[in-house]
């Protein structure tokens, strides 16, 4: 990530679409999250990809639901045209802690691609 455009946790610089998706994803509100995705959107979560309404709905509703954890945004920035939102998770999942980067590619005001990778 380009450190020149990275501010620790200033989510105010994020496009409204990304803020709304982050809130919907945290609430497991699949309808709200799906409304923010483009028609050909793909979400990749640590190497596993999801596309199509049914798979995306299942991912948003179920990913990590079996665990209890906290999620803190630790950084916000740009990597070229990609918005990067860094998260620190702690909970009862294997390993107990994880740092993830949510890498958003937008197409207009919709999310075209979301890659969730280990930070």
Over the stretch 21-31, which tens digit does the pLDDT of each residue have? 999 999 999 99
Mean pLDDT of 6-23: 83
Task: Determine which helix (DSSP H) or strand (DSSP E) holds 50, and give its type and residue range.
Answer: strand 48-51
Helix (H, G, I), strand (E, B) or coil at 65: coil
Over the stretch 74-114, which tens digit does the pLDDT of each residue have? 999 999 999 999 999 999 999 999 999 999 999 999 999 99
Q: Output the pLDDT for position 19.
A: 95
Facing residues of 112 across strands? none
Q: Output the pLDDT for position 1.
A: 41
Q: What DSSP line would sit under 72-92, residue for residue?
A: EEEEEEEETTEEEEEEEEEES
The pLDDT confidence band at residue 12, using thresholds 50, 70 and 90, is confident
What does the block give as tokens for 17?
């679409």
Helix (H, G, I), strand (E, B) or coil at 29: coil
Facing residues of 98 across strands? 89
Name the pTM for this structure: 0.89
Over the stretch 23-72, which tens digit does the pLDDT of each residue have? 999 999 999 999 999 999 999 998 899 999 999 999 999 988 999 999 99
List of long-range contacts for 56-62, beta carbons under 8 Å, 24+ apart: 56/30, 57/30, 60/24, 60/25, 60/28, 60/29, 60/30, 60/33, 60/34, 61/28, 61/30
């Amino acid at each position: 990530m380009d450190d020149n455009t990275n501010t620790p946790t200033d989510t105010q610089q994020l496009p409204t679409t990304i803020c709304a998706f982050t809130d919907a994803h945290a609430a497991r509100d699949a309808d709200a999250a799906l409304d923010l995705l483009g028609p050909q959107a793909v979400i990749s979560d640590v190497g596993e990809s999801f596309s199509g309404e049914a798979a995306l709905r299942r991912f948003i509703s179920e990913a990590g639901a079996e665990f209890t954890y906290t999620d803190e945004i630790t950084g916000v920035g740009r990597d070229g045209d990609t918005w990067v939102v860094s998260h620190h998770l702690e909970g009862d999942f294997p390993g107990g802690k994880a740092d993830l980067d949510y890498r958003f590619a937008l197409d207009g005001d919709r999310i075209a691609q979301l890659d969730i990778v280990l930070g």
